[in-house]
Amino acid sequence: MPGLRRQRLPSAWALLLLPFLRLLMPAAPAPHRGSYKPVIVVHGLFDSSYSFRHLLDYINETHPGTVVTVLDLFDGRESLRPLWEQVQGFREAVVPIMEKAPEGVHLICYSQGGLVCRALLSVTDEHNVDSFISLASPQMGQYGDTDYLKWLFPTSMRSNLYRICYSPWGQEFSICNYWHDPHHDDLYLNASSFLALINGERDHPNATAWRKNFLRVGRLVLIGGPDDGVITPWQSSFFGFYDANETVLEMEEQPVYLRDSFGLKTLLARGAIVRCPVAGISHTTWHSNRTLYDTCIEPWLS
């Protein structure tokens, strides 16, 4: 190119400056060595493994050779079974995969499946989950009229659904296991056989052990957004929830965080919580959105 010779340094000077030039260059990403950790996917309400075919393709494309298991349990209407029953079933499928992966595994758990996975981590001693990716999951509960609820309880609205959900009969349905009515907190705490327990909101003899187990997780990745259309409030995906006036309190304002009842505050203090809010994605498309995968999921699949 014209003028290049006039600007070229003598070779001796170039050799002297080379170490300093390298310092100014951006570092190249470290190549991945060895195999990727196995990925386990847990579906949500009324879902099946087929719903995750796009996610499976994305993982295979970006992390070739990854062993991905989309668990085909409690599909369709079976997903209405009580959550503790589902936790036991998924645990029996997950533990053997963990045992064959001494370097650890990743969990991607969608919607209701995010609650199943959180409980699974709590009750599983010596688990080796590196990243627990909670994808559009009502981690602090659900309080909203959705098509699912209207189909299941056609004569009930959210204002009176507590009459069903906080009964022994209602707790036989998975949806009622995380129904969280902010206007009937006492009933929720006394009747909830699932969410109040894994949140440590009600005393039980396993609380200390469950907290210790949950804190074994390497990283908690929380994904959700304001256009979800199902999770209500949508901030529940980030451990936010309504107060008695239906004002959303963020995670750091929640009693379960302030008391560190199951380890949220500890995880945040050690930098192990990643929050990835994304607008413009509806509830049924989280696991098929490529941009969302590239931004919020792929970086944590080591």
Q: Kindly report the average pLDDT of the chain as a whole number.
A: 89
Is the confidence at residue 99, as pLDDT, over 90?
yes
Does the residue 151 lie in any domain? no
Pairing of strands 219-224, 129-135: parallel
Question: Does 243 map to a domain?
Answer: yes
pLDDT of residue 220: 98
d(CA 208, CA 262): 8
Q: Catalytic pick from 43, 127, 283, 287?
A: 283
Residue 159: its pLDDT value, please? 80
pLDDT-based confidence at 193, cuts 50/70/90?
Answer: very high
Q: How many domains does the chain have?
A: 1
Q: Given this model, what pLDDT does residue 147 score?
A: 65
Q: Is the pLDDT reported for residue 11 higher than 80? A: no
Catalytic residue list contains 294: no
Distance separating alpha carbons of residues 195 and 206, to the nearest angstrom: 14
pLDDT for 158 equals 75
pLDDT at 96: 97
- Dist. CA 93–CA 43, nearest whole Å: 14
Among candidate residues 192, 228, 236, 237, the one labeled active-site is: 228
Instruction: For residue 286, tell me if it sits in a domain.
Output: yes
CA distance 180 to 293: 29
User: Does the pLDDT value for residue 132 go beyond 60?
Assistant: yes
Give me the domain span that covers residue 211. Answer: 39-144+200-300
Judge whether 223 lies within some domain. Answer: yes
- pLDDT in the model for residue 1: 42
Query: For residue range 106-120, what is the model confidence (pLDDT) as tens digits?
Result: 999 999 999 999 999
Predicted confidence at residue 222, as pLDDT, reads 98
pLDDT one-digit tens code per residue, 251-289: 999 999 999 999 999 999 999 999 999 999 999 999 999
Reported as a pLDDT band with limits 50, 70 and 90, residue 49 is: confident
CATH number assigned to the domain comprising residue 226: 3.40.50.1820
Q: Is the pLDDT of residue 54 over 60?
A: yes
What are 28's two structure tokens?
A: 């190249």
Q: How far apart are CA 223 and CA 40, in angstroms?
A: 17
Q: Identify whether 251 is part of a domain.
A: yes
The whole-number average pLDDT for the span 18-39 is: 53
Dmax over CA atoms of the chain, in Å, equals 87
Cα–Cα dist 201/193, whole Å: 11
Which of these is catalytic: 51, 111, 134, 174? 111
The confidence score (pLDDT) of residue 30 equals 45
Residue 48: the pLDDT is 84
Please give the full DSSP string across 36-100, using - where no structure is assigned: PPPEEEE--TT--GGGGHHHHHHHHHHSTT--EEE---S-GGGGGS-HHHHHHHHHHHHHHHHHT
Find where tokens 């505050």 sit: 265
**25 falls in which pLDDT band (50, 70, 90)?**
very low
Answer whether residue 95 shows pLDDT above 70.
Answer: yes
**Look-up: residue for tokens 């309190």?**
249
Rounded distance between C-alpha atoms, residue 11 and residue 52, angstroms: 57
Report yes or no on 252 lying in a domain. Answer: yes
* Residue 29, pLDDT score: 36
Q: Which residues, other chains included, contact 249 with Cβ-Cβ below 8 Å and sequence gap of 6+?
A: 240, 241, 242, 243
- Any catalytic annotation for residue 283? yes
pLDDT band at residue 17 using 50, 70 and 90 as cut-offs: very low
pLDDT at 20: 39
Lowest mean pLDDT among 23-32, 88-97, 209-218: 23-32
Give a yes or no: residue 48 inside a domain. yes
pLDDT value of position 152: 60
Domain annotation covers residue 284: yes
User: How much is the pLDDT for 66?
Assistant: 97
Cα–Cα distance, 191 to 163 (Å, whole number): 11
pLDDT cut 90: percent of the chain above it: 81
On the question of pLDDT at 69 being above 90, the answer is: yes
The string of pLDDT tens digits covering residues 139-185 is 999 998 766 666 566 656 778 899 999 999 999 999 999 999 999 99
Q: CB of 140 within 8 A of CB of 230?
A: no
Catalytic: 111? yes
